[in-house]
Each structure stands twice: as C-alpha cells, then as structure tokens.
Amino acid sequence: MLPRCDIIAGMPSVLLVSSNGAGMGHLTRLLAYGRRMPADVRRHVVSMSQAVPVVASEGLTWEYLPSQGATGLRPATWRSLLADRMSEVLGRVDPDVLVFDGTHPYSGLDVALAAHPRTRAVWSRRAMWKPGRNGAQLDKAAWFDVVLEPGDLAADADRGETVTAAATRVRPVTMLDREDLSDRATARAALGLPADGPLALVSLGAGNINDTGDEVGAAVRALRSQGVGACVTAPSIAERAYAGDDVHLVRHFPLSEHFRAFDHVVTAAGYNSVHEALRLGVPALLVPNDATSLDDQVTRARHAAERGWALTARTLTGGRADALVEELVARGPELAARAQAQDPGNGAADAAQEILRVAGLAAAPGTGTAS
Amino acid sequence: MTPTTSRTRQQQLARWARRAPGYRTAVDRVLPAVRRNATLTDVVFRVFLPRHGVGTLPVPLVPGRHLSGRDTALLPVVGIVGLGLSDDQVGSLVEEVATLQRAERSFRVLLVLDRPAFALARSHGYAVEVLVPHAAWAGHPQGASPPVPWEDYVGRRLADVLDHYQLWHLARSTPEGRLDPLDEVLLRNVAARLPASLQVDTAPVTRGDP
C-alpha cells in the first residue's frame, strides 16, 4: 500500500535534478548520491533524460521535464517553461535541498530557486572540461549554496576551466562498489548471456550523440577474431541499437551490477564508463568520443593509458582494432589490477553526506574544500 | 553558416541587446504600454493589415516525422491528452492521431501522457509531456500544506502546457484510448482554415516510423 501524502509531508526530502546530457551519466551520479542517504530521506527526481523511469528501480519517484532540444521550443520560451515547472515542483515538494547535476545550470532554475528560498541548492558538476570552454557557466555557482565536484581519476591531467574554481571536492563517484557486484554466474544468467567463454562489453558512443556503428562493428569483428564474444549495450535512450550476428544485446540498470559477466570492456571515455571500469576492475580499452561538447574524454583516456590503467585508441576503424583487442586480451588484467591498486575509493557517500549537511540534515563530512 | 555558428551569433546579439542602455525601460515600460494602447494597436492593424488566424504565425515545436515542407512551422500545435490509459491504448491513440495527421497535413502534435511512452513518441518524432499518473500521486513526496490534490496538479500542468507550447487546441482521448469524436471532427476541419499558400507535404515513410 502506498504511503499517504500527509505522512510523507513531515519527512526530509531531497530533490535530484539532472540535465538531459547524452547518456546516463547525470542520472547515475545522482542515484549514487541518493542510494547513500538514510531511508527516511525522501528522494525525488526531476530529469530531462528520457531514461528517467529507471530511477524507479531504486525506489525513487520521478518526473520528466522535456529538454529544449526535445521540444524544439525557442530557448527563451523553454527557459520560461523550466522556471514555471521547477517553481511548481519546489512549491509542491518543498525539498530541503535541490541537487542539480549538469555542466550547464539553465537560466530559469535560478528564478525558481529564488522564489523558494527555504530550499538549499547544490551544483554537482564534474570536472575535465575541454580547455577554454564553458567558463562563463562557472559564474552560476552563485545560484547554489555549494558546488560539489566528484573527483576524476584523470584530475592531474585536467586543464579545463573548473581546475581553479571553488568547489567541495570528493573522491571519484560511482554508483556501485565491488562488493555490490553479482558473481559471474549470476551476472551472466541475469543478462541472458552464455555461462562459459570470454565475453567483452562494447559500449561505444555516449547515448545518441553520434553514430558509432563503424566503431562497434570494428570492435565486434576484432573480438570475434580473438575468440571473445561481444555484448553491446542497448540503452533505453539510444535511437537505435547495434544488432548483428553473434552480438548479445544487454539491457540492465545499473549494468555495472553485472560487470563480472565481462572479461573485457571496450568503451567510450565518459566519466561513468571510465570510473566504473577502472574502479570495478574490468580490463578496458577506452575509445574517447571527441564529439562531446564539453567532456574531455580524450584527455581522460590518455591519462588512464599513461598511468598504465587501461589501453586507449582514438579509433578502432582503419584496421586498428585487431592489434588493440589482442593487446587488451593479453595485458588487460594486469592493467586493471594496477588501476584497482591505485583506486582512492568511492566518493559517493561523502557527497551524500555533504548534500545532507547543506540541507541541515547531517553533520559536516570529511570532505576537502578547495578554492 | 552552420546552425551552431548562427546560434552563437544570436546569443551574442541577445547579450548585446540586453546590455544596451534603456533595455530594461523598453522591456518593462515601453513595450507593455504600446501593447495596451488600443489606439496604437488599431493603427498598426490598419496600416500593416497583419494576417491573423490559424496557420499565419510560426510556433516553434519539433515537426515530427509525418510532415515535411517549407511551412510545417506554421501549422497549429495540438495537444493530445491521454491520461489513465494502458500502454496498448496509448499506442493505438498515437497511431490514430498520426494517421489523421498524415491525412490532413494540418496540425502538429504534442503528446500529454501519464506513461513514459518515450520510444513511441520518438518513433513518430513527437514531443511528449509526462504527468504523474493518478495512481502514483499518493506515493509522491509533498511538503506543501495542505497537499496538492492530483486534479489541481493536472489542471495547473495543462494550463502550463497550453501557455508555453502555444497550443491551438487540447484534444482528449476517450477512456478507451480513442480520440474524442468531437476533437476528431474538429481536427478534420482545420485544413480548410489554413492559408492556401502553405506548403506542407506528407513525409515519406522512414526507418524510424513504426
């Protein structure tokens, strides 16, 4: 039986707001925070991602707010819609704190927050911006009580605008830790995969940003030549999923829960993909997507390769895939072990604690504040 | 000029305009005063004879997959409200609307549903608004006192949708997931009111079509 509103009304609540982005990164990060909050804290999601219904699997309620791109509205009209919509949600939910995860806080959010001053506000924004880009957005930190920056394993190579910006920085954030993973047999059964034989997860392209069909095809062919079966992600937001002979389509959220099903991963170099592969110990070949507007995937992947945590290549096409996959099979486990040995741990719990502190619901955590 | 370059220049121009001396005075005082002045408005209409009515002003919205042509942006936008329906009923409602749209070539579609039928909407190229379903309302957090009844939430959201999307009409489904007969006959009579010069075609069936 569903709880009644008048019971829920007295509970502390957190409103998790994500921009649409290209993949699942913003939502996943918010869920990483949300699942580390006490059970008596109500967590409600407002997202511009059409993948938002997945949050129900975490027991969270959700609402969809279409992005400007999804509607085709004029930017100014959409910002007005955003302001009205967020004002209505803030008035109705009356959350103790709003957490916005995205690199571009939209005008209109400030209007809604100003109209609801009781609610504290946190900007969760990852780093690794392409150098020289998006700097003007940092001024929007003034809309928020705190800027929370999930750490990046490639932070030493970061040359983007956020490097010198004030933020509360925590260790890299992933939704799961190794102890949360299912065992290999359970994972393969859950995903409908063969129980035996080597398998690789191929996760190229950030959602529907661009067509990576050729990269996927090259990866699958090279894996097959090494006797490795290919598993391709079929995210719910993808316009189309690659389906070819001998390719297993896998669909689960969070897929990382079943990472032990895979012996290798060939993946784009987005924040979540890289940190999940490295932190959870899956030998990885990183193929950065340079078509993203802001995320510096090339630098993140190059740094991981330089540190000896993973392999990287700008493209698998043009006959490059065979040698790369051969090297992945041969050296991948050694690289993955090195990455795990240097893993600083998951910052998600620290981030959750910081959010609750800002909301006045918890004491200050042991996070580092840089300025 | 690429769309990105064009948009960047638009943003630069908008920023420049907003910083210009007198911008706030113009926006807050002059323009509202001009709009409220009946004499001025009447003079403008007498001098310029602006066309009015359906199909004369562009309304931004994604065009969908079923129509193409130079003037799709001039077609009125119709909201299709389907609440309390099953997945199958939503599917048949959207199919009925798409068939009507292809036949009439006289309106564009915004779906207003209470189910996350995103893949279905994408397959038609329709924008979609998703409301919290009645059955889930009690489980949603509310800090407002007294709590907002679902009916009030729906009313406010529909008003919001009508306003921001500049809807020409809000059509409803029957409880069985059919387009309301009155709305259907209304939509069959839009084309006759459109300017004869509009160029709107039925788009060829593409891979994304269901």
Chain A CB contacts of B116 below 8 Å = 50, 52-53, 64
- For A170-220, the pLDDT digits (tens) are 999 999 999 999 999 999 999 999 999 999 999 985 433 334 457 888 898
Dist CA A295 CA B127 (whole Å): 27
Both A320 and A337 in one domain: the answer is: yes
Buried b (16+ CB within 10 A) or exposed e, A26-63: bbbbbbbbbbbbeeebbbbbbbbbbbbbbbeebebbbb
Q: Which helix (H) or strand (E) holds B68?
A: strand B67-68
Which of B139, B148, B156 is facing A2, going by the closest CB pair? B139
pLDDT reported for residue B10: 74
Residue B201 pLDDT:
94
**B142 and A61: CB-CB below 8 Å?**
no
Q: In this structure, are A97 and A121 located in the same domain?
A: yes
What percent of chain A shows pLDDT beyond 70? 88
Answer whether residue B4 shows pLDDT above 90.
Answer: no
pLDDT of res. A247: 83
Q: Are residues A19 and A90 in the same domain?
A: yes
Regarding whether A361 and A315 lie in a shared domain, the answer is: no
**Res A231 pLDDT > 50:** yes
Contact yes or no for B110/B81 (Cβ under 8 A): no
Whether residues B160 and A84 touch (CB distance < 8 A) is answered with yes
Interchain CB contact of A314 with B (< 8 Å): no
Mean pLDDT of A265-287: 97
Taking only the tens place, the pLDDT of each residue in B174-202 is 999 999 999 999 999 999 999 999 999 99
Predicted confidence band of residue B88 (pLDDT cuts 50, 70, 90): very high
Residues of A in contact with B147 (CB under 8 A): 5-6, 9
CA dihedral B155, B160, B166, B171 (to 10 degrees): -30
Kindly list the residues from chain A whose CB atom is less than 8 angstroms away from the CB atom of residue B143. 9, 13, 92-95
Residues A29 and A125 in one domain: yes
Q: Would you call B139 and A74 a contact, using CB atoms and an 8 Å cutoff?
A: no
- Supply A47's token pair: 């997202």
Between the alpha carbon of residue A199 and those of residues A137, A229, A232, A262, A370, the distances in Å are 42, 5, 11, 5, 42
How far apart are alpha carbons A350 and A320 in whole angstroms? 41
Lowest mean pLDDT among A108-122, A268-282, B10-24: B10-24
Please check whether residue A81 touches B, CB under 8 A: yes
Rg over alpha carbons for chain A, rounded to the nearest Å, is 20
- Closest-CA residue of chain B to A41: B141
Mean residue pLDDT of chain B comes to: 89
Instruction: Report pLDDT for A1.
Output: 34
**Can you tell me the mean pLDDT for A311-338?**
96
Task: Please report the pLDDT score of residue A73 as a whole number.
Answer: 96
What residue type is A138 in one-letter code?
A: L
User: Is residue B3 within 8 angstroms of chain A, CB to CB?
Assistant: no
Closest CA to A100 of A147, A58, A35: A147
Based on the domain organization, do A112 and A196 belong to the same domain?
Answer: no
Residue A242 has a pLDDT of 55
Domain range annotation of chain B: 3-48, 67-202
What is the full DSSP assignment across A202-254?
EE-SSTTSS--HHHHHHHHHHHHHTT-EEEEE--TT-S-----TTEEEE--TT
Residue A7 within any structural domain of the chain: no
Q: Are residues A318 and A187 in the same domain?
A: yes
Question: Of residues B40 and A180, which shows the higher confidence score?
Answer: A180
Residue A38 has pLDDT above 70, yes or no: yes
Range of A213's domain? 178-341
Tell me how far apart the alpha carbons of residues A41 and A57 are, in angstroms, rounded to a whole number.
17
Who among A66, A80, A85 is closest to B128 (CB)? A66
CA distance B64 to B97: 12
Query: What interface predicted TM-score (ipTM) does this complex get?
Result: 0.87
pLDDT of residue B206: 64
For residue B171, what are the β-bridge partners? B80
Residues A26 and A49 sit within 8 Å (Cβ to Cβ) = yes
Does the pLDDT value for residue A239 go beyond 60?
Answer: no
**pLDDT of A3:** 39
CA A269 to CA A337: how far, in whole Å?
Answer: 19
Structure tokens at A105: 């806080």
Residue A89 lies in a domain: yes
Residue of B nearest to A74 (CA): B60
Which residue has better confidence, A144 or B38? A144
Give A244 to chain B, closest Cα distance, Å.
17
3-state secondary structure of B10: helix
CATH annotation of B67-202: 3.40.50
CB atoms within 10 A of CB A112: 22
Number of folded domains that form chain A:
2
Of A4, A95, A236, the CB nearest to B143: A95
Residue A35 lies in a domain: yes
CB pairs under 8 A between A and B: 93
Flag whether A104 is in a domain: yes
Rounded to a whole number, what is the distance in Å from the CA of B143 to chain A's nearest CA?
Answer: 5
Helix, strand, coil fractions of chain A, as percent rounded to 5: 40, 20, 40
- In terms of Cβ atoms closer than 10 Å to its own Cβ (0-12, 13-18, 19+), residue A139 is exposed
Chain A within 8 Å of B165 (Cβ-Cβ)? Answer: yes
- Cβ pair A92:B130 closer than 8 A: no
Closest of A19, A33, A51 to residue A237, by C-alpha:
A51
Query: Could you tell me if A322 and A246 lie in one domain?
Result: yes
Mutate to test the interface with B, among A1, A2, A4, A5 (most CBs of B within 10 A): A5
Quick check: B119 contacting A, CB < 8 Å? yes
Position A22 scores a pLDDT of 58
Judge contact between B140 and A61, C-beta under 8 A: yes
* CATH number for position A281: 3.40.50.2000
Are A232 and A358 members of one domain?
no
Rounded to an integer, the average pLDDT of A286-307 is 95
Any domain includes A134: yes
Q: Where are the alpha helices (DSSP H) in chain A?
A: 5-8, 25-34, 68-71, 75-93, 109-114, 184-191, 213-225, 271-280, 297-306, 321-341, 348-358
Q: Per the domain annotation, does A300 fall within a domain?
A: yes
> Whose CA is closest to A231, among A206, A280, A197?
A197
Which of B20, B50, B144 shows the shortest CA–CA distance to A94?
Answer: B144
Domain membership of residue A148 (yes or no) is yes
Mean pLDDT of chain A: 90
Q: Do the Cβ atoms of A93 and B143 come within 8 Å? A: yes
Residue A215: per-residue pLDDT = 85
> Predicted confidence band at B1 (pLDDT cuts at 50, 70, 90)?
low
What is the predicted pLDDT for the residue at A5?
A: 41
Strands (E), B86-195: 108-113, 127-130, 169-172
Q: State how far residue B178 is from chain A, nearest Cα, in angstroms.
A: 24
Neighbours of B31 (CB within 10 A): 11
**In a mutagenesis test of the A interface, which of B65, B164, B206, B209 is the best target, namely the one with the most A β-carbons within 10 Å?**
B164
Mind listing the pLDDT tens digit for each residue in B127-160?
A: 999 999 999 999 999 997 889 999 999 999 999 9
Closest by Cα among B111, B154, B127, B20 to A78:
B127
pLDDT at A367: 45
Quick one: average pLDDT of A306-331? Answer: 96
CB proximity A13 to B under 8 Å: yes
Cα dihedral B9/B10/B14/B20 (nearest 10): 50
Question: Do A54 and A126 reside in the same domain of the chain?
Answer: yes
Distance from CA of B61 to the nearest CA of A (A): 4
The answer to whether the Cβ–Cβ distance between B139 and A3 falls below 8 Å is yes
- How much is the pLDDT for B203? 93
Amino acid at B19: R
- Does A22 share its domain with A120? yes
Q: Which residues from chain B sit within 8 angstroms of residue A83, using beta carbons?
A: none
φ and ψ at B62, to 5 degrees? -55, 140
Q: How far apart are CA A370 and CA A141, in angstroms?
A: 14
Residues of chain B found within 8 Å of residue A77, distances taken between Cβ atoms? 60, 164
Residue A94 shares a structural domain with residue A213: no
Give the pLDDT confidence score for residue A361 in this predicted structure.
87
Q: Which two tokens stand for residue A73?
A: 């509205």
